[in-house]
Amino acid sequence: MRGHLESHTDCPVCYEIYVPNDLETHPEIILVSRNSHSYPDPRPTRTPETIKKMFRALLQDTGWRLADITPRKLSLDAGFMANFRLRLNWQKEQDPPLSSLHPSLGNFDRVSRLIEELREEHFPDGTGLKGRLTFAFITV
């Protein structure tokens, strides 16, 4: 049995789907959209590579503090925020949120993943006891 779409918003968009009677000889289905959406596009969820590179560069400036940094600690780190303000040319009194660099960075889980990727590059043996012993052995 064919289903039907129920409208739960006041969006004026209407879709019409045309399916041929014989899909084997005519395997194309036509979808026609009428009108335009009455609401804005969704916020971007993917972080562009250029933004990732800029964010990684800002993270690398934290130096050894990268070992235990979190998104919340980033927003409280005066050195990071000073560099962040400088890169964004931020003129307001309050510090900018990470999402001012890109909306996808408003998601702290995404920011945590970006931090973890960089952390694994800089500390391949981890930041625990094993990683510290390896680091101490190499630097001596």
The pLDDT value recorded for residue 132 is: 58
Alpha-carbon gap, residue 66 to 60, rounded angstroms: 7
pTM reported for the whole predicted model: 0.60
Q: Which of 40, 29, 33 is nearest to 14 (CA)?
A: 33
Q: What is the average pLDDT across 96-103?
A: 86
* pLDDT 10s digits, 22-53: 989 999 999 999 988 877 777 777 888 988 99
DSSP states along 57-105: HHHHTTGGGGGG--HHHHHH-HHHHHHHHHHHT--SSSPPPGGGT-GGG
